[in-house]
Amino acid sequence: MKKILFIIMLIIFLISNCVYADDENENYENIIQENEKKEIIETANSDTKPTINSRRYAVYDRLSGRCIYGKDENKQTAMASTTKIMTSIVVVENCDLEDVVTVTAKAAGTGGSRLGLRTDDKIKVLDLLYGLMLKSGNDAAVALAIHISGSVEEFSKLMNQKAEELGLKDTNFVTPHGLDNSEHYTTAYELAKITDYALKNETIAKIVKTKTATIYINGNSMQINNTNELLGNVEGVYGVKTGFTNNAGRCLVTSVKRGDMDVIIVVLGADTRKDRAKDTMKLIEYAYKRFYVFNVEEAIKQEFELWKQINQNRIYVNKAANSLELKLDEVKIKKVATDMNPAIEINVVSYIEAPIDINTRIGTVTVKIGDEIIEEIEIKAQKEVKKRGIVDYFSIIAKIYSGTIKIFNKDEI
């Protein structure tokens, strides 16, 4: 009797601790009812901050690369199958999409959400990518990892190398699928940065906005559907990826574009599929109600031209043979989503010695939103300023005697 009781308890334990890396074969159509959508929009219009169930979230502005709204967005956390966004990056950058993959027993035996691969199946890399990002196949993730690197462990090294290239400090990958592991984590903000990079790839961008795709395994067609519940149901949504494990909770990364404003919404640690969908929609509507696109480049250039008219000749260049002319370096952040107009500050030296080489740094234009510096552009010498020579001094003396110029300070010569 005790033995039977032990077996029953063990089964219950295993079931309760079973991990999944995403939702599959579930109906996501109209997960948010029309009356709920209306309520979310009305709340956003009232300027009331949204009540969010998810434990961590970020609203990321793709124009400037900034998190414009969030909660615990820099806290390390599990991210379940949103991991596969980085997996897709490594795949498209490291192999031919037309390669045919032979599925190994290890890939075929991977648990959690599955594409349904079996040992020795033949399938193209591109079809595996659709199975990875639409159906969230863990078996597809492992098949791709083994095809590219020979093992999950070696593939994870490529994932971490890419994370380092992207400047991520709080992200570490152990698997290509995202099943729970204490050493596998990211943050909402860094996951948004990964997604932003991924969406710049045409293949990935095309895949994640696809609702339904037909793929081929062993030459046989198979139709798969996207697990992203907001795709096609919320205005402007064009991707990206769902996720779920017991540790990570319900996760959703969503890209949205309305007009010029392009944002990525990351919600991590929601309790239910409906919560993550509603949280995401609340953040979308709040962002598009509160924030607007500000043309940083245009504002900087206008401010700089006005400043030059008044101040350029006030910079004293000692022993200069010709006048100093200024120019702006390249403005990196052209536009920004913001809830307030940025402040523009111009600072230059008041005194400098000739000669001055072309492109010598003379000062900076600093752009701030609140206390945050979002851009700093160098002000440089547009052309060379030569130091006065003997000929220049004779010319000055001649002008003095002719009364053309007057000298008030010995430094003038």
What amino acid positions are annotated as catalytic residues?
Answer: 81, 84, 136
Residue with tokens 């979230």: 57
**Continuous segment of H or E residues that includes residue 124:** strand 122-124
Question: Quick one: residue 308, left, alpha or beta (phi over 0 = left, psi -120 to 50 = alpha)?
Answer: alpha
Burial group, residue 181, by CB count within 10 angstroms (0-12, 13-18, 19+) = middle
CB 345 within 8 A of CB 304: no
Three-state DSSP at 71 gives: strand
Looking only at the bridges linking them, the beta strands covering 237-245 and 361-369 are unpaired
* Greatest pairwise CA separation for the chain in angstroms: 120
Helices (H), 237-389: 273-290, 296-311
Residue 385 pairs in a beta bridge with 356
Cβ contacts of 376-379, under 8 Å, gap ≥ 24:
377/300, 377/328, 377/329, 377/330, 377/331, 377/332, 378/328, 378/329, 379/304, 379/326, 379/327, 379/328, 379/329, 379/346, 379/348
Tokens (6 digits) for 4: 């039977």
Provide the phi-psi class of 47: left if phi over 0, else alpha when psi is between -120 and 50, else beta. left
